[in-house]
Chains A and B, each alone.
Chain A
Amino acid sequence: MQETLPPLLQETGIPLHEYQEIVRLLGREPNRLELYLFKVMWSEHCAYKNSRPLLGLLPKDGPAVLQGPGENAGVVDIGEGWAVAFKIESHNHPSAVEPVQGAATGVGGIIRDIVAMGARPIALLNSLRFGELSSPRTRYLLRGVVGGIAHYGNAIGVPTVGGEVYFHPAYQENPLVNAMCVGLLRVEELKRSRASLGRPVYYVGSKTGRDGIGGAAFASEELSEENESKRPSVQVGDPFMGKLTLEATLEAIRQGLVEGVQDMGAAGLTSSLSEMAHKSGLGLELNLDRVPRREPGMTPLELMLSESQERMVLVPRPGKEKDLEALAARYGLDAVPVAHTVAEPVFRVVAGGEVVAEVPIRALAEAPTYVREGREDPAIARARARDLSDLPLPQDLEGVLPRLLATPNLCSRSPIFERYDHQVGTNTVLLPGRGDAAILRIKGTRRAIAVKVDANPRYCRLAPRLGAMHALAEAARNVSVVGARPLAYTDGLNLGNPETPEGYFELSETLQGLAEASRALGLPVVSGNVSLYNEGPSHRIPPTPMVGVLGLLEEVERRAELGFRKEGEFVVLIGPEGGYLGASEYLWLEHGLEAGSPPPLELALEARVQAAIRELIRRGWVQTAHDVAEGGLAVALAEMCFSYGLGATVELRSQVRPDALLFGEAPSRVLFTVDQTHLHPATKHLEEAGLPYRILGQVGGDRLTILLPKARLEWGVGDLRRAWEAPLREVLP
């Protein structure tokens, strides 16, 4: 059919039915530039064509929400006049093609989103997915992506305080790089992407070049070998210019010079200006002759589609134009009124004195949406249904733990986070790896925020709906386990091609699962990003809803970290002892299987467990707590030994098979330690909350000893630690 399409449709890749819709909306044939404007604005990345109807399922309101989805970032109130802006965003396809710049500009882009809300960025997190660690391509990508994040984040001076990385064969062809940024602002300085009528719209920041042309559209295609030649679609980041643009923008806001701010990110001038005008209920006229440019001879099309980095859109308050220009000049930045708002609801582009494009602004901003038929991949249903009860028990239970700790998904992340400046800004309370979530104090108050991003690809692949529920529950649990009350979340939804029944099924199930967990846990979504078409020639990625939860600690002193710190403290487990083998890391390591159902999740119980551990920490009884996640109880206990080299002796009494007892996984479980004085009040609180718990043993010595009904297992903490530290150190020395 492709051959019968007009050449322009072949060139742009716009499907015929969308072209017909564009003609209907315009009442005429679009010219080439106009058609490209539609191509980028109607891309999944900008328009959420396939996801918008499903995103409507997510709860978006809550008592703390100041700004929900739809702006550059979501904003929640944290009290005492302070608010926090946060958002996660993907940069998957650029990172697959050029890992250093792809990851660096991903960081730069999310920082600008936060700045656009009037917030000073105070923390970065990232969520990364690669193929198998043993593959040379994975190592190349991992080194590049970590290098790119470090390059940008370190230089711009925003600490990278947390993150997560998983290795799974289904990401081999399509790695994922999502970056999350958290910013702090005074409530009264909250800015939105708005302009009033007749205002000049300023372009502030770096000049426009030929990089990243059509990046938003590139992000919405499947990766192919052809894409390897798409390097010009990848933007180039300059953290130095990013820093100057950040400081200039924040200073302009603080001085009351601007009424509206918008990041110039994906789809550059086209998206930032048309969206701002659309949100303001206005039209806009852009004069391309005024756009600062890096090189001569750029065509209107190139200028409109360029995704050159470190550019912002600022709308000055009346009479503040000159002040804004002077401020930008002080930072050595261009600040040019490239556009102005008009009453007529059109997006008009002028070049060389002529109108080169003019389309109704609404038509650009409101792309058609699609609701499709989904169907589960029968192979996945079969894998989930597999009976695991006949699996042989390992001969050597003791030997499993060091091997499990040395798997790519469980081993120490310090070789990665040592490359990130995690302390600049002097707000980082827990160093990476020291707690289940990062904690940042708010200077001048006793408050702190906690943040964590999470998603388990095995759970999500085998059961997309349940997996998405786990993702939100676990991220919230991690935030609760450091003592913070979760307030809201941002979601980075990374999935495959929604135009296939299997891809759409996964998208739809993921959002339904997230919606259900959101409601049960009382957590609204305030921002997010959708990245679809994450497939290579032979694999669709597992559904990967990277959920970033933000929580509040009212008193930073009342917090918990994960390491055993005091000899003689009692080790207590909230929740059942036994876990499930389905979808576990253990099953993958020892049996090479990704099968069975992820563990069941009872959301009401989950909420009560989280509330209980927060309360124990808030009362000052508990300073050490840890979520029991991948690898089960044995891995969680080992991890607790590592921070201070302190061991423990615990006894497990459950009669479930010993591998499920040690390495089986289950949600709603938290390990904590408590001293003799507070043991009774703490357990009494758990009893009153109706929660199952057991005192497992005590902290002490330099060995981890686990007594089972029929066995005694013992490891030197140092030996376990060496096994845990080695694998990534080899890749990132």
Chain B
Amino acid sequence: MRVAVVQFPGSNCDQDALWALRLVGLRAELVWHTEGSLEGFQAAVLPGGFSYGDYLRAGALAKFSPVMQEVRRLALRGYPVVGICNGFQVLTEAGLLPGALLANTNLHFTCKEVYLRVERTDLPFTSAYAQGQVLRLPIAHAEGRYYADEETLERLEQNRQVVFRYAPAPHAAGGPDHNPNGSLHDIAGIVNEGGNVLGMMPHPERAVEEVLGGTDGLGLFWSLKAALEVLPA
């Protein structure tokens, strides 16, 4: 089972995603954005960073990269596709996920730890977590405020497409502060209707070892591994 980590010009979490995937024993390889084929790959990760310098709009130019045709094909065939941070922005720009990621309400780049609640565990990305489990993961973005129109939001909720929601720290007094960017419905991550395309703003690949201060991101990679093991090659 091979996982492609797509490198756009300006991607900068590509090596980190590769490291995390390999840490759980997945075969992961970097794929340059001009690549015309993802033949032989059973999953793709669109990593964080500033593809094309975030010029025009975060993720807006990357959707035109040749490799995106192949990512789309992979997604349509039901294989797992994960977009993290800038990768999430690319997936919304490419229309593989609904909605858009707008400037944070504080209007600046914010790098800190946040808490998020796991809303679904029946997905190839979350099976290793417990329903309602609260994860501690870092965010690092300037445009992470999830936005969609009322109708889309309602559909997302009805279809249970919201996978991760910003939540208060366990044992902390509740308050509005837990949502770091003003995302509607506290959305931190969503899937498509098929449940095989995930986009999330927090960085699970940054929380995979104790030495980095946390391991709450590991579950996502373990889940992906388990899912790929039962997929047809």
Contact = CB atoms under 8 A, between A and B. Distances in A.
Interface of A: 147, 150, 154-157, 238-241, 243-244, 330-332, 417-426, 428-431, 441, 443, 556-557, 733
Contact of B111 (A155, A422, A441): A422
Interface residues of B, number: 32
A240 B16 contact: no
22 contacts: A154-B50, A155-B50, A156-B12, A239-B50, A239-B53, A240-B52, A240-B54, A240-B55, A244-B9, A244-B10, A419-B111, A421-B111, A421-B140, A423-B111, A423-B138, A423-B203, A423-B212, A425-B16, A426-B16, A426-B208, A426-B209, A556-B211
B106 interface: yes
A150 B212 contact: no
A425 B10 contact: no
Given A240-B9, A332-B9, A443-B19, A428 B110 contact: no
A724 B119 CA distance: 36
Interface of B: 9-10, 12-13, 15-16, 19-20, 32, 48-50, 52-55, 106, 108-112, 138, 140, 203, 205-206, 208-209, 211-213
Nearest to A557: B211
A332 B8 CA distance: 12
B59 to A, nearest CB: 14
A331 B205 CA distance: 26
Contacts of A155: 10, 12, 50, 53-54
A423 B206 contact: yes
A238 B53 contact: yes
Given A155-B10, A239-B53, A423-B140, A418 B212 contact: no
B13 A157 contact: yes
A150 B109 contact: yes
A421 B86 CA distance: 14
Contacts of B55: 240
A419 B109 contact: yes
Which 7 pairs from chain A and chain B are nearest by CB? A157-B12, A240-B53, A155-B50, A426-B16, A421-B140, A423-B206, A421-B111
A570 B60 CA distance: 55
A419 B110 contact: yes
Given A243-B9, A426-B209, 11 more contacts: A155-B50, A157-B12, A240-B10, A244-B9, A417-B111, A420-B109, A423-B111, A423-B206, A423-B212, A424-B12, A428-B212
Contacts of B50: 154-155, 157, 239-240, 243
A243 B10 CA distance: 6
B106 A733 contact: yes
A331 B140 contact: no
B206 A426 contact: yes
Contacts of B213: 429-431
Contacts of B211: 429, 441, 556-557
Given A238-B53, A426-B206, A431-B213, A418 B112 contact: yes
Contacts of B49: 157
A431 B213 CA distance: 8
B33 to A, nearest CB: 11
B interface, by DSSP: helix, strand, loop or mixed?
mixed
A424 B85 CA distance: 12
Nearest to B206: A423
Contacts of A429: 211-213
Contacts of B208: 426
A241 B55 CA distance: 12
B10 A424 contact: no
A162 to B, nearest CB: 13
B113 to A, nearest CB: 8
A713 B140 CA distance: 40
Contacts of A556: 211
Contacts of B111: 154, 417-423
Contacts of A422: 111
A269 B38 CA distance: 42
Contacts of B203: 423
Contacts of A426: 16, 19-20, 205-206, 208-209, 212
A419 B206 contact: no
Given A155-B54, A240-B50, A425 B15 contact: yes
Given A157-B49, A421-B140, A331 B112 contact: no
B99 to A, nearest CB: 23
B140 A154 contact: yes
Which one of B12, B49, B203, B206 has the greatest number of beta carbons of chain A within 10 Å? B12
Contacts of B20: 426
A266 B23 CA distance: 42
A419 B108 contact: yes
B16 A424 contact: yes
Nearest to A147: B108
A429 B206 CA distance: 11
Nearest to B108: A419
B51 to A, nearest CB: 9
Contact of B140 (A241, A424, A430): A424
A156 B49 CA distance: 8
Contacts of A425: 15-16
A441 B209 CA distance: 11
Nearest to A428: B212
Contact of A421 (B32, B109, B212): B109
Contacts of B10: 155, 240, 243-244
Which one of B109, B110, B206 has the greatest number of beta carbons of chain A within 10 Å? B109
A60 B91 CA distance: 52
Which one of B10, B52, B106, B112 has the greatest number of beta carbons of chain A within 10 Å? B10
Nearest to A243: B10
B16 A154 contact: no
A435 to B, nearest CB: 11
A31 to B, nearest CB: 40
B53 to A, nearest CB: 3
Nearest to A414: B112
B131 to A, nearest CB: 28
Contacts of A154: 50, 109, 111, 140
A733 B110 CA distance: 11
A108 to B, nearest CB: 13
A99 to B, nearest CB: 15
Which one of A243, A244, A330 has the greatest number of beta carbons of chain B within 10 Å? A243
A556 B206 CA distance: 17
A241 B10 CA distance: 8
A567 to B, nearest CB: 16
A267 B136 CA distance: 47
A147 B140 CA distance: 15
A157 B50 CA distance: 8
A418 B52 contact: no
A443 B209 CA distance: 12
Contacts of B9: 240, 243-244, 331-332
A658 to B, nearest CB: 36
Which one of B110, B140, B209 has the greatest number of beta carbons of chain A within 10 Å? B140
A624 to B, nearest CB: 15
Nearest to A417: B111
B216 to A, nearest CB: 14
A430 B214 CA distance: 11
B110 A418 contact: yes
A429 B211 CA distance: 6
Which one of B49, B138, B211 has the greatest number of beta carbons of chain A within 10 Å? B211
A364 to B, nearest CB: 36
Contacts of A417: 111
A147 B205 CA distance: 26
A330 B9 CA distance: 10
A238 B32 CA distance: 21
B7 to A, nearest CB: 9
A243 B32 CA distance: 15
